[in-house]
Amino acid sequence: MIRKFPDCHKQSPLIVLPLIFFLALPNLTAAELKHNQPPTGLPSCPDSPNCVSSLSNDNKHRVQALQYHDVSAQEAMSILYQVLTDMTNPVRQVTEHQYYHAQFNSTVFGFVDDVYCLLNTGKTHIDIYSASRTGYYDFGVNRKRVEQIRTQFNQKLEQATSKR
């Protein structure tokens, strides 16, 4: 007796192709997926000391926003973009939200820190957030980074206004 198999093997490309496509997708971690989402504001700092934000309510995490005067909001964001790209590449720019996202990697272990900058359109400042993706302590690295960004931002801002 010859046994005939059903013709389901003819449909196997329909099953295999999506599987191959799925396996070929980049393997993004949950943190990477979260950091690739469109912005809706700045994240909140966790309880750990490895985060600072201009929107934080507690002194442990609070830093001052980046202030600008005598330039337009677009000029201020352009200056900030120059500062961030001088420090790291690439900087993710989402102009419709007036938002920048920059990633910094530590030199020794390659830990990833995220910096988010969001233009506050109602005021003359840019809110800023810097945090480590992993770990608990950062030994003040994120606070120092924000202050470095602020210093360079203020210097470039002063240069831009003195040319007028």
Whether pLDDT at 19 is above 50: no
**What is the predicted pLDDT for the residue at 159?**
94
Domains of the chain by range and CATH?
Answer: 42-162 (3.30.310.80)
Of 126 and 88, which is predicted with more confidence? 126
- Residue 147 banded pLDDT, cuts 50, 70, 90: very high
**What is the predicted pLDDT for the residue at 36?**
54
| DSSP per residue, 106-163 | -TTT--EEEEEEEEETTTTEEEEEEEESS-S--TTHHHHHHHHHHHHHHHHHHHHHHT
Give me the sign of the Cα torsion angle 50, 28, 105, 96: negative
Q: Mean pLDDT over residues 9-20, rounded? A: 44
Of 98-102, 125-129, 140-144, least confident by mean pLDDT is 98-102
Question: Using one digit for the tens of pLDDT, what is the confidence trace for 42-57?
Answer: 999 999 999 999 999 9
Total-model pTM:
0.74
- Residue 96 banded pLDDT, cuts 50, 70, 90: low
